[in-house]
């Protein structure tokens, strides 16, 4: 069931989004060679708690941390640990907060020091694929319009779109209907309605779109061990367009 939010509920989600935005900005300042993914998780956790929020991910389905920290070929759901980031890595940080009972969910991919031109292009194309999707979001548009915009932009730049993982509705629950694929056909699928809130999250790979889950039950990696990038925001569908709540 798709839950349409009231204007007052949207206002709380706006506040959650601002806090999440600030969390990710703080994380971005902390990503550098020599830092561990566990240290990044602690920075995020402590900041979220300091803002009177709850980390959405901590304990969700048994996940043991407040952020997902996915390095290089790790697509999503990487578990923070004692891994030390080194020059040339890229790291996707996916994070969520609960503010007064309402969720916001967003992700960024950061460069660790100086990275290759191709990895930087992957990060840039992944981010821009999200904004290409924003151009088509409005009341009356279809879910397929979102997926098509992301897929078309990513593939036209020589990258691939992960099929096994998708975006989702969000609100008083972190995951709500509908699922939002990052691929598809324009003009197909559910029609968007005003005050729908969605987490749109392109996951774009340097090589194959095929992925697998590791034995830890969480971490998803590319099958060819090539790099992956992730960019996500919580958005609000409006009458004539979109409001990005976590930026």
Where do the structural domains in the chain lie, given as residue ranges? 7-244
Residue 67 and residue 48: Cα distance in Å, rounded? 11
Cis bond before residue 178 (omega within 30° of 0): yes
Give the architecture (CATH level 2) of 7-244: Alpha-Beta Complex (3.90)
Region 94-106: mean pLDDT is: 98
| pTM for the whole structure | 0.97
The pLDDT confidence band at residue 98, using thresholds 50, 70 and 90, is very high
In angstroms, how far is CA 4 from the centroid of its own chain?
21
Average pLDDT over all residues of the chain: 98
| Percent of the chain topping pLDDT 70 | 100
113-136, pLDDT tens digit by residue? 999 999 999 999 999 999 999 999
């Amino acid at each position: 069931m798709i839950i349409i939010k009231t204007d007052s509920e949207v206002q709380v989600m706006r506040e959650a989004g601002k806090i999440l935005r600030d969390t990710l900005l703080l994380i971005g300042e902390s990503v550098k060679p020599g830092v561990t993914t566990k240290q990044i998780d602690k920075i995020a956790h402590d900041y979220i708690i300091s803002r009177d929020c709850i980390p959405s991910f901590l304990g969700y389905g048994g996940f043991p941390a407040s952020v997902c920290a996915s390095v290089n070929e790790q697509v999503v759901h990487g578990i923070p640990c004692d891994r030390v980031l080194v020059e040339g890595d890229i790291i996707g940080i996916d994070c969520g907060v609960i503010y007064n009972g309402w969720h916001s969910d967003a992700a960024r991919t950061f460069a660790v020091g100086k990275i290759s031109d191709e990895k930087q292009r992957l990060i840039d194309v992944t981010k821009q694929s999200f904004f290409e999707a924003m151009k088509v979001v409005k009341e009356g548009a279809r879910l397929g319009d979102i997926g098509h915009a992301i897929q078309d932009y990513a593939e036209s730049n020589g990258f691939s779109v992960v099929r096994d993982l998708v975006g989702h509705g969000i609100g008083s629950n972190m995951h709500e209907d509908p699922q939002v694929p990052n691929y598809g056909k324009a003009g197909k699928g559910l029609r968007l309605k005003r005050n729908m809130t969605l987490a749109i999250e392109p996951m774009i790979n340097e090589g194959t779109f095929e992925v697998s889950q590791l034995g830890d039950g969480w971490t998803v990696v590319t099958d060819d061990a090539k790099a992956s990038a992730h960019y996500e925001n919580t958005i609000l569908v409006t009458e004539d367009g979109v409001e990005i709540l976590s930026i």
